[in-house]
Amino acid sequence: MLRLIIGVAAGYVLGTKAGRARYEQISAATRAVTSSPVTRKLVQVGRQRLSDKLSTRPQLEPMVPLDERTTVLVPHDQLRR
């Protein structure tokens, strides 16, 4: 979906009849969006969520604490039920 949007935007920028002024306006808006800290954070969070979903490592589940400072973690598929 993102590639489609980028392709449409690039086609519009390259094929526009509005000239250089419109191109500069679109370029400035694109730079503003891509350099925004909010956009960067959203991309980072999205990548992390995708990485978590695609991870082959088993999820660790907290077990009963041994004491106040120690917690044992075991893979989710090895939990006793």
The full DSSP string for 33-50 is: HHT-HHHHHHHHHHHHHH
pLDDT, position 6:
84
**pTM of the complete model beyond 0.85:** no
In percent, how much of the chain has pLDDT > 70?
73
Residue whose C-alpha is closest to residue 34's, from 63, 2, 61: 2
At 48-81, the pLDDT tens digits run 889 888 877 766 666 666 777 776 676 766 666 5
pLDDT, position 76:
66
At 43-52, the pLDDT tens digits run 999 998 898 8
Quickly tell me which residue has 């990548």 as its tokens.
47
